[in-house]
Amino acid sequence: MRDRRRLTRYAWFSVATAVFTIGLKAAAYFLTNSVGLLSDALESGVNLVTAVLALIILSIAAQPPDEEHAYGHAKAEYFANGAQGMLILIAAGTIGVTAVRRLLDPQPLEQVGIGLAIAAAAAACNGLMARILLQAGRKHDSPTLIGEGKHLMTDVWTTGGVLLGVGAVALTGWVWLDPLIAILVAGQIVVAGSRLLRQSVDGLMDRALPPAELAQIVAVLEAHMGEQVQYHALRTRKSGSRRFITVHIQAPGAWSVQRGHELLEEIERDLRQTLPEASVFTHLEPAEDPVSWQDIPLLREDD
């Protein structure tokens, strides 16, 4: 198993980037008086909170299994996704309210050129950090880093939209474009926050592994099946980067315990080689015993 504790360094980088970009975007807002840039700065405040949260959650998730958490602490990463999603939605609401007020009471913009340059620099920093987080998240299969990377990438697109809006105001003089762009930005942020919440719920609800991985598991099992050997009650779930697979194997009751054990060891080995960081639990049953077939439902009902 990879050393998950090293992933916290990416969270530290994200915290530093958030602090830096908050300063840049706040400066851009005060120079221009643009509500669009204000909305962008507020979202960067959310970036800082989520980055700190990611740091805390990654530290928890890296802890090894113990007596009270025999399956480890990796599922904590889904709480980070949920909290990130909620904070993003709160930020979207704040941006929307501020933008509507400015739409009803338009204000002229000032020093647009330097404000746009500062905001563009902030977007470049966030874009670089987002790429780093997404690459690390996919490499280490970390929902927290992937969620934070997607959040930052959304921030990049948000800033891009704001820059276009403020630039359009400078060219046309239509000051209502600024709050209108901010409202559109708030809508985009709602979409991003909703996606993170859905990912969090899927993880916490022990959703089965994706179809591509299930197909790999079935292929391994089928390779070991024959006239005498069958399988059923295949169940899967994912907790952070860890995958959990349980399956019942039916073999002739006349087989020795040793022979059945060797078959299960081969199956478990092949599954672990196919899906790294998978915990595999197999259960051997005699194919001739009708009771063996009662294990197909999730909850077995005994007479």
pLDDT in tens, 63-93: 878 888 877 777 777 877 787 778 778 777 7
Positive or negative CA dihedral for 284, 290, 295, 300? negative
DSSP secondary structure, 181-215, as one string: HHHHHHHHHHHHHHHHHHHHHHHHTTPPPPHHHHH
HSE-CB of 86 using CA atoms within 13 angstroms: 10
Percent of residues, the chain, with pLDDT higher than 90: 20
Domains and their CATH numbers in the chain:
4-204 (1.20.1510.10), 211-295 (3.30.70.1350)
pLDDT for the residue numbered 252: 93
pLDDT in tens, 15-35: 888 888 888 888 887 887 776
Confidence of residue 1 (pLDDT cuts 50, 70, 90): very low
pLDDT for the residue numbered 297: 65
Average pLDDT, the chain: 81
Given phi > 0 = left and psi -120 to 50 = alpha, else beta, which region is 184?
A: alpha
Confidence of residue 283 (pLDDT cuts 50, 70, 90): very high
pLDDT score of 264 more than 80: yes
Secondary element (H or E) of residue 218: helix 211-224
Contact between 33 and 109 (Cβ < 8 Å): yes
Confidence of residue 170 (pLDDT cuts 50, 70, 90): confident
pLDDT in tens, 92-143: 777 777 778 777 777 666 666 777 788 788 888 888 988 998 888 888 877 7
Q: Which of 77-81, 134-138, 218-222, 282-286 has the lowest mean pLDDT?
A: 77-81
pLDDT score of 175 more than 90: no
For range 39-44, the mean pLDDT? 72
Report the length, in residues, of the chain: 303
